[in-house]
A and B are shown apart, each in its own frame.
Chain A
Amino acid sequence: MATQKTEGRPHTAALSAEPAIELVGISKAFGPVQANKDISIRVMPGTIHGIIGENGAGKSTLMSILYGFYKADAGEVFIRGQKTEIPDSQAAIAAGIGMVFQHFKLVENFSVLENVVLGAESGARLMPSLSKARKLLIELAREYELNVDPDALIEDIGVGMQQRVEILKALYRQADILILDEPTGVLTPAEADHLFRILEGLKAQGKTIILITHKLREIMEVTDTVSVMRRGEMTATVKTAETSPEQLAELMVGRKVLLRVDKKPAQPAATVLDVQNLSVTDEDGVQRLKDISLNVRAGEILGIAGVAGNGQSELLNVLGGIMPGTGRVELNGESIDLTGKFSDGQSRRERGIAHVPEDRQRLGLIMDFAAWENTIFGYHHDPAYQRSSLFMNNDAIRAETALKMQRFDVRPPDPQLKAKSFSGGNQQKIVLAREIERNPDLLLVGQPTRGVDIGAIEFIHQQIVALRDQGKAILLVSVELDEIMSLSDRIAVMFDGHIMGERLPSETDEKELGMMMAGMGEGA
C-alpha cells in the first residue's frame, strides 16, 4: 500500500507553514457529468476550513475522494506535505483523516462503545478491545467535552449525541484532520452551538477541521477560511473575516441572490382555517398532538416553528387527510371530517386544501415516475385529464406539465424525465407547481426548502409569498428558524405536541423562539 504517514515533526515552525491537506488539480467525472474540475485547495493545520456550495456543486465528491470512497481521475493529494495515495477508507484513516457523514454511519442496536471500536479493535477477542476502548473513550470525552454514555444504545440517544459518537469514532482512530459533511442539518440551534463549541475545542488542540455546509450563517460563525464551489469548480478561497454572506452567496450561485425574503406587510382577511382542540394519537398509542387550537386567515402565512418531531408532521398530516385525529377543524366555516372514514387526501384537495408534504420523495412524488405523471397526482380524476371514461389524455397532461415547468423554472424542463433525475430543488418546484396551480384556498407546506439550493430557495419563497398576496391562507412548517422568521406573518412554536405560544416576527428573536422550541417560556 502506498499510504505514508509522516513520522515525527522536527520543526514545528516549518510545519505550521505546511498545509495539513493540499489537493492539486483534482478532477473526477461520473459518465458525462464532471463532478470535480481541476480543483486545488490548501487547508492549513489548526484551522476550521469551510467548503460551501450548492447541492451538486461537487463538495461531497471532493471529500469522498479524500476519504477513499472514489478514485480521482486526475490530481494529487498531499497530507502534511507528503504525497499520499488514498485507495480506500482504510488508507484515509491511516493518514489521520476522520469523516463525519451527513447520514451517520452508526449501527443502531450497538452500544456507543461497540460503534467506536468497530473496525479499530485491538485484537481478535472483543472483550479486551472494549475495556481498552472504554478507558480511552472516557479520556477523550473529558478532553473534548464530548460527554456520552459508552453503554447507551445508539437507537436510544438523540441525534446530537449520535453525532458526538461519530466525532469520537474519528478521534479514537487518532484522526487529526476531521471532515464534517453538513453536520447541522439534523440539529437544533442549541445542539448546533454545542457542536461549534466542540469544534473550537478541537481546533484549540491543533486539529484541522473541514466543514462542508450550504448554510452561510455557520460558515460566518465558525470558519477561519472558506472555499466556495460551483458546478464542480472551486470559485474562490477567502478569509472568512474578509467576506460577507452576500458575497459568498453570489460566489455560490453565480449571480446576486436576495438572502432576505422581500415581501409587503400581510393583508389578512377572513379566517380560512380554524382548528379547535385538535388531538392526535399515532399507531403506537403515543399522543402526538395535544389539544391544539390555531387559525390561519386569508392572505397570511402562519409559520410553525419547532424542533423536528414535536408534532408538526402530524399536524400537517391530519389537516392533509393522511392521518385521523379528534377535535374540530373548519375550512371557510364548514367542518372537515377528521375520523378518516369519510375523507382522505383526495377529498381535502377537492375542498381546496393543497398539501406540499414534508418528505417530498416519499409522500410528494413517485420517484420512478416521469415528471408529467407526478404533476397530476391527487388531481388525476379531473375531467380535463381524461380522454374518455377509460383512457387518460396523456398528451394534454404532458403539454400542461411543460407549461408548469416553464412557469416554475424547473430545470431541465423535460416532462418525460423521471422525478428522481431532478435535483432536490427542482423536485420541490414540481410538487409546488402541482399544488399551487390548482388555486387552493389553503396551502399546507412542510419543509419547503429542505435540501434545496440557495438559488431555488429564493424562487420557492417568492412563490409562497405570491400565493399569500393573492389572498390565500398558508400554513408553513419548517425546522429552519431563518425560514420561519423571514416568511411568516405570525409564528406559532410547537413543543411536545403543544403550541407553546404565538409571536409576531417583528416582536421576537431567534433566542426567544429557541427557548420556546426547547419547551421553556410560557406554559402550554
Chain B
Amino acid sequence: MDYQVILQILDSTLRLATPLLLACLAGLFSERAGIFDIGLEGKMLIAAFFSAAIAATTGSVWIGLFAGISASVALAMLHGLASITFRGDQLISGVAINFLAAGLTVLISEDWFQQGGRTPQLAGAARFNPIDLPFADTFSVVPILGPIYKEVISGHTILVYAALLAVPLTWYVLFRTRFGLRLRAVGENPGAVDTAGISVTRLRYTAVVICGILCGLAGAYLATGFAAGFVKEMSAGRGFIALAALIFAKWRPWQALGATLLFGLLDALGTRYQNIEVIGFNVPVQFMQALPYILTVVILAGFVGKAIPPRAGGAPYVKER
C-alpha cells in the first residue's frame, strides 16, 4: 500500500464520516437533554430530499440547504410535540418519523420529478463544490505533511469543515456555557431544573431544534455535497450508525468525532477494497461493505464497555406533587 493510497482512504474517510458526525452531534444535543431520538435517519433523509429538490429547482444550493434544514427541523418539532408536549413514547415517535420520511421523500419526488424517486442531477451552483484551501499546491512539495494537507485536509465542501468545527463548538456550548449546564441537567434530572425556576419544556424544545438543524446539515451534505442529487433511501442507515457512534462516544463531543471517523474509515475501506485476500481466503465484497454495520451491532451489544445514558433520557417530564 503506498502513501498515495493511504491519503486517498483518509480523504474519503473524512467525507464519509461527515454526515455521521453531524447526525451524531444532533443526537448528542437531543439525548443530553433527555429526548431519545431514533429519528435521526428520517430527519437526514427528508433534509437530503428537500435540499436536493429545492437546489435543483432554484439552482442555488444555499436555498436548498435552507429548505433541507427547515424540513428536518419540522420533523424535529413533530418529535418534540409528541414526546415533550404530549409526553408520548419517544421510540415510537422516532420510528414513525423514520417511516414518514422514507415514504414522503419517494412519494413527493416521484410526483415532482418523475425520475423514479430521484431528483435531477445537481451541478454547478446547485451543489456544494470542493474548496481548495489556500496554499494547497504550494505546500504539496513539503514531504509527508504537504500531501496530507493537499489530499486529506483540503478539497472538501464547506459542510465538511462546518462539521469539524461543530465538534469544539458543541464541547464549548455543552461544558462552558449556562445553556450547556442546563441542557445537561435537564437530561439527568428535569426536576432539578424545574425547581430551579427554569422551563423544562423550553429547554428540551431548544435541544430538539438544534438536533433538527444538525440533522438537516447532515442530510443536505449527503444529497448536495457528497452526492449530486437525491436517491431514495440514500441515508442508508447512517442515522442509526450515528446513534451507535453516540453510544460508543458515551455522549461526549470529542469522542463522537473519534467514533464517527472510525465508522468513516471502515466505510472507506469497504468501498476501496471490494475484494481482498486474507491468507488465501477471498473476503467477499458484501462483507467489506457490511463492516460499519457489523461494528454498529458490536457496539450496541455492549462490547465496548459500559455506556451510561443520560438518566432522565426517554422519560417525559411530569411534575410530581
Contacts and interface: CB of A to CB of B under 8 A. Distances in A.
Interface stretch (B172-180, B205-213, B238-246): B172-180
Contacts of B198: 90, 118-119
Contacts of B194: 89, 105
Interface of A: 60-61, 64, 67, 69, 88-90, 92-93, 99, 101, 103, 105-110, 114-115, 117-121, 123-127, 129, 169
B63 to A, nearest CB: 32
B319 interface: yes
Contacts of A107: 184-185, 188-189, 192
A106 B189 contact: yes
B185 A125 contact: no
Given A89-B197, A105-B195, A125 B188 contact: no
A127 B176 contact: yes
B311 interface: yes
B312 to A, nearest CB: 10
A117 B181 contact: yes
Contact of A61 (B178, B192, B321): B321
A57 to B, nearest CB: 13
A90 B191 CA distance: 14
B111 to A, nearest CB: 46
B188 A126 contact: no
Nearest to B321: A60
Contact of B178 (A64, A93, A108, A121): A121
B308 to A, nearest CB: 9
B291 interface: no
Given A88-B197, A119-B182, A119-B197, A105 B177 contact: no
A210 to B, nearest CB: 16
B188 A89 contact: no
Contacts of B301: none
A89 B176 contact: no
A127 B180 CA distance: 12
A114 B188 CA distance: 13
A108 B188 contact: yes
A89 B319 CA distance: 12
Given A92-B197, A109-B311, A123-B178, 18 more contacts: A64-B321, A89-B196, A89-B197, A101-B191, A105-B192, A105-B194, A105-B196, A106-B189, A108-B189, A109-B188, A117-B181, A118-B181, A119-B193, A119-B196, A125-B177, A126-B180, A127-B176, A129-B178
A129 B189 CA distance: 21
Given A105-B189, A107-B185, A110-B188, A118 B196 contact: yes
A125 B196 CA distance: 18
Q: Which of B182, B196, B319 has the most CB of A within 10 A?
A: B196
A103 to B, nearest CB: 8
Contacts of A61: 321
Contacts of A127: 176
A103 B194 CA distance: 14
A67 to B, nearest CB: 8
Nearest to A60: B321
Interface of B: 175-182, 184-185, 188-189, 191-198, 311, 319, 321
B292 to A, nearest CB: 31
10 contacts: A64-B321, A90-B197, A93-B196, A101-B191, A103-B191, A114-B181, A115-B192, A118-B185, A118-B198, A126-B177
A107 B178 CA distance: 15
A69 to B, nearest CB: 6
Given A60-B321, A126-B176, A120 B188 contact: no
A110 B188 CA distance: 9
B321 A99 contact: no
B188 A121 contact: no
A124 B319 CA distance: 27
A124 B189 contact: no
B195 A99 contact: yes
B177 A124 contact: yes
When A and B form their complex, which 7 residue pairs have the shortest distance between CB atoms, in order from nearest?
A119-B196, A90-B197, A105-B192, A121-B178, A89-B197, A105-B195, A107-B188
A218 B39 CA distance: 52
Given A69-B319, A110-B188, A125 B195 contact: no
Nearest to A127: B176
Contacts of A123: 178
A254 B188 CA distance: 42
A169 B175 CA distance: 21
Nearest to B179: A124
Contact of B311 (A92, A108, A124): A108
A102 to B, nearest CB: 10
Contacts of B189: 105-108
A101 B195 contact: yes
B260 to A, nearest CB: 24
Given A107-B185, A125-B177, A118 B319 contact: no
A69 B319 CA distance: 8
B178 A126 contact: yes
B197 A118 contact: no
A69 B176 CA distance: 30
Contacts of A121: 178, 181
Contacts of B184: 107, 110
Contacts of A92: 197
A90 B181 CA distance: 18
Nearest to B182: A118
Contacts of A124: 177-179
A117 B196 CA distance: 9
Contacts of A114: 181
Nearest to A109: B188
Contacts of B181: 114, 117-118, 121, 126
Nearest to B186: A107
A129 B181 CA distance: 11
A139 B175 CA distance: 26
Nearest to B194: A89
Contacts of A105: 189, 191-192, 194-196
Nearest to A114: B181
Contacts of A118: 181-182, 185, 192-193, 196, 198
A94 to B, nearest CB: 8
Q: Which of B185, B195, B311 has the most CB of A within 10 A?
A: B195
Given A60-B321, A108-B311, A118-B196, A125 B191 contact: no
A150 to B, nearest CB: 15
